[in-house]
Amino acid sequence: MTPQTDPQAGAAVKAADRAHVFHSWSAQELIDPLPVAGAEGSYFWDYDGNRYLDFTSGLVFTNIGYQHPKVVAAIQEQAATLTTFAPAFAVEARSEAARLIAQRTPGDLDKIFFTNGGADAVEHAVRMARIHTGRPKVLSAYRSYHGGTQQAVNITGDPRRWPSDSGAAGVVHFWAPFLYRSRFYAETEQQECERALEHLETTIAFEGPGTIAAIILETIPGTAGIMVPPRGYLAGVRDLCDKYGIVFVLDEVMAGFGRTGEWFAADLFEVTPDLMTFAKGVNSGYVPLGGVAISGKIAETFGKRAYPGGLTYSGHPLACAAAVATLQVMAEEGVVANAAVVGAQVIEPGLRDLAERHPSVGDVRGVGMFWALELVKNRETREPLVPYNAAGEANAPMAAFGAAAKANGLWPFINMNRTHVVPPCNITEAEAKEGLAALDAALSVADEYT
């Protein structure tokens, strides 16, 4: 794990990148991507010898950290034996990955449809629900992220959908609970829960229950701010779905596979959806993989009738071999329990201590290795440190916060006025403490803008 120093090589990588790589979610002339020379465990480094503790897990996917030797070896072995094969065949890596995933998913989510990532998993879950119910509409939450493909971005509730939202018929947004910025004038978790459920049932009534195929929710909304729902909310949504014959889809693309200190966030709330999407942590993103875990009831719909959808690389053997090895590593090394324990004993008390000492921290929320600090100008009014969807100069406070974190060896996850604390689920206690110390320094910079 010795960062090599080779600034010239770094400059060449960056020059080629700037000449030819068109980056996602970016203004191409305004970005400055860091050339990465290598990564291992919870760290990565650049060509100038700077090493960073990764509190982002990539895009919240390296749940077992970078370059785990057992997963790297499994990918190499699969490449040597059977690198690729078409989806219509039974292939050992694929069937074993499906078996291991089904073993971990809640309830009777026992059939696995593989995709290449999260967005296409959402696309397929919605298609399954529409065909299963014969109904057109999908209800999803504001303050959600479900992917960048066309239907998934329509379903998404955050501002990234605005430029490409086709206003597609059939997608209706509602407000999910979020007490810190309650839409329901609630003062307690219980009020927030009851009023959010009442709002959802009213939305169902006005849209027409017979027109709604699915309600899709992130079990814990991630990208939009890690808003842990009040106890009882998801069970209440489950009941509404049963009452109106609506398919309940939980999107566990970010929250799944250990992130919350449980195998799935659904386990925290003891709910079982009809369909559950996953990706990211399933193989720590070593090779692109996602999927939909399907309940018996919905699988039955496609028993004698063809499922009209598929992907060339569905269940790619390399990706599936990486999943098998990842799931084995997670079990052998107690990665899920580590996320729960280090989360509860180090990250949570550490973040609460930072909140007490830094006036810029308005709210701390999360569970396991899935936390957000919401930064504000004023704790009383809760005015965000930067305006909603801020860009350029308007975003200067968050940019200064980010630069300070990096100067202290921490790569932070920043979204709007929040920093998310989402390190690998197998992070050590010492690494977690190192990251908290860097956050402490960076928050002192954010405090200057309060």
Chain residues binding ligand PMP by CB under 6 A are: 59, 117-119, 122, 145-147, 218, 222-223, 251, 253-254, 279, 290
Residue at shortest CB range from ligand PMP: 118
Under 8 Å between Cβ of 119 and 152: yes
**Considering Cα of 150, then 154, then 156, then 157, what sign does the dihedral take?**
positive
CB-wise, 97 or 186, nearer to ligand PMP?
A: 97
SS3 363: strand
C-alpha–C-alpha distance, residues 42 and 429, integer Å: 12
Q: How far is the CB of 183 from ligand PMP (least distance, A)?
A: 21
Task: Supply the minimum distance, in Å, between the C-beta of residue 77 and ligand PMP.
Answer: 25
For ligand PMP, give the closer residue by CB, 132 or 143.
Answer: 143
Q: How far is the CB of 81 from ligand PMP (least distance, A)?
A: 27
Distance of CA 99 to the CA centre of its chain: 23
User: What 8-state DSSP symbol labels residue 271?
Assistant: -
Least distance (Å) from ligand PMP to the CB of residue 145? 5
Q: How far is the CB of 83 from ligand PMP (least distance, A)?
A: 22
Nearer to ligand PMP, 279 or 427 (CB): 279
Residue number, 151 or 360, with CB nearest to ligand PMP: 151
- Listed residue (62, 93, 99, 90) closest to 75, CA to CA: 93
Contacts from 381-386 at CB under 8 Å and sequence distance 24+? 382/180, 382/181, 384/416, 384/417, 385/360, 385/417, 385/446, 385/449, 385/450, 386/416, 386/417
Q: What is the distance, to the nearest Å, from the Cα of residue 297 to the centroid of all Cα atoms in its chain?
A: 27
Minimum distance from CB of 386 to ligand PMP (Å)? Answer: 21
Rounded Cα distance, 298 and 272, in Å? 13
Cβ proximity to ligand PMP, 147 vs 317, nearer residue: 147
Q: How far apart are CA 307 and CA 321, in angstroms?
A: 25
Nearer to ligand PMP, 59 or 172 (CB): 59
Task: Give me the least distance between CB of 218 and ligand PMP, in Å please.
Answer: 5
User: Which CB atom, from 47 or from 61, has the smaller least distance to ligand PMP?
Assistant: 61
- Token pair recorded at residue 235: 């069970």
- Which residue type, as a one-letter code, is found at position 415? N
Nearer to ligand PMP, 119 or 213 (CB): 119
The per-residue DSSP string of 150-201 comes to HHHHHH--SGGGGGG----TTEEEEPPP-GGG-SS---SHHHHHHHHHHHHH
The closest alpha carbon to 155, from 127, 194, 183, belongs to 127
Task: Report in angstroms how near the CB of residue 355 gets to ligand PMP at its nearest.
Answer: 25
Looking at 182-292, list the stretches that DSSP marks H as alpha helix, in order from N- to C-terminal side.
Answer: 189-207, 233-244, 265-269
Q: Which is nearer to ligand PMP, 104 or 124 (CB)?
A: 124
Minimum distance between the CB of residue 442 and ligand PMP, rounded to whole angstroms? 23
